[in-house]
Chains A and B, each alone.
Chain A
Amino acid sequence: MQPVAVLPVHKSIRVAAPPARAFEIFTAGMHRWWPRAHSLNPKVERAAVVIEPRVDGRWYERGVDGTECSWGKVLRWEPPARVVLGWQLDHTWRFNPAFLTEVEIKFFADGDATLVKLEHRNLERYGENAKTIRDGLDSPEGWMGGLQLFASVIAAP
């Protein structure tokens, strides 16, 4: 299949802490800020979001009942300047070790604060499943169903 163009998602935000602190809260403290509703296992209360602080470290969430759901892995670990995470949730919104898109987060000192720049790239890799996506659009088990479920969970009060 020919590669399909999908622009990366780019985001940036200024946070009120030096890069080292921002990096630490982003990674080691992810459970403190990652929106609670953004969970692959919404039926179980989340106990932690873990990024193992090394290349090839796992990125996963753990429920209070001990169940773990993998999200991906660490591709680059360069505190306090950069971390690259492999986002391995495929078009069915499930962890797939054979699938990977990259989320790169860079931390730039900006006075007393930090400019955080995020890029989520390789989204065209979802295109390799374009047919599956199309077939699954109307299925509650499909990719779109998964996203809608996810979106409704997020929107819920």
Chain B
Amino acid sequence: MPYPTAELTALASETRARILERLEGGPLTVGEIAAGLPVSRPAISQHLRVLEEAKLVLEEYQGTRHIYRLDPTGLRALRAWLDRFWTHSLEAFAAEVERDQPKPTPAHATRRRSTRP
């Protein structure tokens, strides 16, 4: 499967990852998204278009406000699902380690008993 080089991916996705992080807190305007990011407004808009095409964000008009929010469908849903999946699985793993630990080995227990008078 042809993937872009790691460098290109990282460079492009760094900003988009930060945009997604910001939108996790709720819907924002382009201006709010851009605030504090070392990227020009037009560049932010371009990143938002890519995220929109990938169904990661949705564009909406609330009255005169033009906002972006996370798209509940598509990749975002998959990621959220995997997040819950791993939480659930690791908890099961930790519980199994817990079960595995406290019991002394039968050999050890037997030896202890046998040394008693």
Contact = CB atoms under 8 A, between A and B. Distances in A.
Contact of B56 (A4, A33, A125, A137): A4
Interface stretch (B60-68, B89-97, B109-117): B89-97
Contacts of B78: 91, 123, 126, 133, 143, 147
A133 B89 contact: no
B45 interface: no
Given A25-B100, A29-B96, A124-B13, A11 B74 contact: no
Interface string A107-131: 0000000001010100111111010
A107 to B, nearest CB: 11
Interface residues of A, number: 44
Interface residues of B, number: 46
Interface of A: 2-7, 9, 11, 13-17, 21-22, 25-26, 29, 32-35, 38, 91, 98-99, 116, 118, 120, 123-128, 130, 133-134, 137, 143-144, 147, 151, 154
Interface of B: 1, 3-4, 8-9, 12-17, 19-21, 50-51, 53-56, 73-79, 81-83, 85-98, 100-101
11 contacts: A3-B4, A5-B19, A6-B75, A13-B94, A32-B96, A91-B78, A123-B82, A127-B75, A128-B1, A130-B75, A144-B73
